[in-house]
Structure 1
Amino acid sequence: MNLHANETNGAILVTVEEARIDAACAIQFKDQMREVTEGETNRVIVDMTKVNFLDSSGLGAVVAAKKQLGTGRSMELAGLSDTVRKVFRLTRMDSIFPIHDDVQSALDQAHAE
């Protein structure tokens, strides 16, 4: 699992550099998310632009990563492909995660609030 994280505009931006989040890498995703999101930053934005497949194990790993953040910290998703967005919509997880069209709109929203 290849994740890159950096702090930008008061948020941790995590870029998923993989085409799939599935049973083969779900545990690695969850573990690496814990590592890269340690700290005090309240807002985590996950750039999923390169992800074109997400199965139930991958969805579970994304939910687990959100839970790992604890209360008072948010996890937002950006750049979901139509296929991945459909998984979030069908499971109603789109009501749990703020979903942005792209990273820039996620960052811009912080300035609008």
Structure 2
Amino acid sequence: MTLVADPFDGGLAVRFEGARIDAAGAIDFKDGMKALTGSESGRVVLDLGQVGFIDSSGLGAIVAVMKQLGPGRRLELAGLTPAVAKVFRLTRMDDVFRIHDSVAAACSDAAQMP
């Protein structure tokens, strides 16, 4: 698992490079996200375009990252593969997170947000 951060106007895009977010890597994922986002401000868009599988531990890790950001910051998701999008729908987490088709769409949406 590798996390690659790219700043954009108003936030930080983080690309998850790996095929799975599961129990084996959930703690490393949370720690890595905390290290990348701890000193930043603004939105965080997590690009999950390479992730083909997520289990409950992975979902819990993403929720934990959202909570780590605090009340003044948002964690948004982008590029969900069909299998991962299905997990978010089935758990109704698609109501909790703002989900974008891509990081580019997330950055474009930011210009239209109040």
Q: TM-score range by the shorter chain?
A: over 0.9
- Counterpart of 1:6 in structure 2 is 6
2:46 corresponds in structure 1 to: 46
User: How much does 1:85 deviate?
Assistant: 0.4
- The secondary structure found in structure 1 opposite 2:87 is helix
SS in 2 for 1:39: coil
The farther-off stretch of 12-21 and 39-48 is: 39-48
Q: How many residues align?
A: 113
User: 1:19-72 deviations in whole A, cap 9, x for unaligned?
Assistant: 100011000001101000112412000011001100001000000010000111
Alignment partners' CA distance in 1, 2:65 and 2:75: 8
Q: How does 1:14-93 map to 2 (within 5 A)?
A: 14-93=14-93
Tell me the TM-score normalized by structure 1.
0.96
Identify unmatched segments of 5+ residues in structure 1.
none
1:9 Cα deviation from its structure 2 partner = 1.6
Distance in 1 separating the partners of 2:47 and 2:41: 17
Mapped partners of 1:89, 1:63: distance in 2: 15
Name the residue aligned to 1:110. Answer: 110
Q: Secondary structure in 1 aligned to 2:32?
A: helix
Identity of aligned residues (%): 55
Following superposition, the deviation at residue 6 of structure 1 comes to: 2.1
Q: Secondary structure at the match of 2:46?
A: strand
